[in-house]
Every structure is written in C-alpha cells, then in structure tokens.
Structure 1
Amino acid sequence: MPTLDRSTEGGLEAEWEAVEHALDSPARRRVLSYLEQAREPVDLDELAEYVAKHTTGPESNLWGVHDTYTELRWVHLPELAKADLIAWEPDDDTVELDAYAMDLPLFSPLSDRVVRTDGEQWH
C-alpha cells in the first residue's frame, strides 16, 4: 500500500490532509479505536465482526458482517493505510495500528480523544 512521502514538497500539509480525511469517517475512527484497544495485530474477520456488531446493533447477521468486511477492505482500510495510521496490505488478513498513529494525539485524554466513537453512525 503506498504511503505518504513526508520528504516531498508540501509533505506536512499533505500528511495532515490525509490524516484529516481518514478521521472524517466515523467508521475509520471506530477501526482506529478498536486497534488502539487491541494493541496487537487483529484479524480482518474479527475487526469486521466487531465493527458490524457496534454499528448495526445486536441484530447484526452474516450479511452485515460480510458487507462490513467488504467496506473495510475496499474503502476504509486503504484510506487509513494511505494516511499511515494502520499497517495493512491488500493481501493481508491482519491489520494493526501504525506507530505513526500512536505518535499523534489521537488517543490522548488531553485531546478529548479525537478518535471517539460514542453515538456515531456508520458511514
């Protein structure tokens, strides 16, 4: 997965644009929150099951998990990887929080938890 080249002109601005875009989605913030809590590589099936359960409610069924898996694989994980917030390759079945994400004030109590998922709808 291509990542940001911080050495290019406008690198910092482009870097923050990618991070801001990645955080714009409640679904991606939910993924980051789960990965931060796990603190280890997570199987994509496990992540999809968690996200489906916490976004579609307890009535989540196989199709909900399947649809969530597909959306994660083709929409959300590529955006998070592009912003260097997760370590994931399209052929991988595991995903983990990138060290860069831990360096950002996303999970700090002082930042009022930028990656907050309470009461947000899946997008």
Structure 2
Amino acid sequence: MGWLRDTFLESGNDSTELERTRYDRTYILEMIGGYLMSDLSQNLVHLRWLLKLVDFKVAGEFSWESAVLATLYREMCGATLPNKAKIGGCLSLLQSWARFHFPFLRPRVNHPCTFPLIKR
C-alpha cells in the first residue's frame, strides 16, 4: 500500500485524465485494502480487487457489500481456530451491527449513538 501512495500521488487540476484515473484506482484500492477488506497488517491488498477496477463501469455493477461481508465472515470463521489470535476484515461493520442488535454492548452515554455511514 505504501508503494501505491508513493507512486500515484494525488492529482491536481492540471493532471491528465489518465493520471486522475490512476489516482482514483489507487484511492479505491487503499479503501479496500486498508479498511473494507484488510488483512492483519493493513498494508497489503489482494490482486483480485485490482482486477475488479480495470473498468469502472463494471466495478459499479459488482456487489461490493457482499464482498465485504464475505471477507468479514471468512475472517470470523478463521478466528475460531485455537492458534489464531487476531482477525482482519471490516471490524467496524461488525461492531456497528453488534451495537445495534445487542444494546447491552453499547457504551453508556447521554446522547444517542448514530452511525451516519450506515444510514447513507
């Protein structure tokens, strides 16, 4: 992920269409590899996600929600192994779900908990 950030810097107003497309793909890969479908180190992204970004029109038709949930489910299944101590994946999604479905897990605060990202 560091190589991506160093190689494809943020594009400015005078950048070409190709430079903007490269930056967009880099930004999306950072979101995928660092937040949505991260590994334990959060610095690697699987090549299969890069192949989904070759054509942006096709990438918009891909069920990204299902892919995030499948990745999280796979990580949760792997975490049941006795020798595994850490878990990857989109853990904020799991935490949001748990706080919504299990009120006793919520922190006790005076203001209501909101999840603006989920409500979009």
Could you say which TM-score interval applies, normalised by the shorter chain? Answer: under 0.3
Higher share of residues assigned strand: 1
Normalised by the size of structure 1, how large is the TM-score? 0.26
Higher relative contact order (CA 8 A, sep 6+): 1
* Higher radius of gyration, 1 or 2: 2
Normalised by the size of structure 2, how large is the TM-score? 0.27
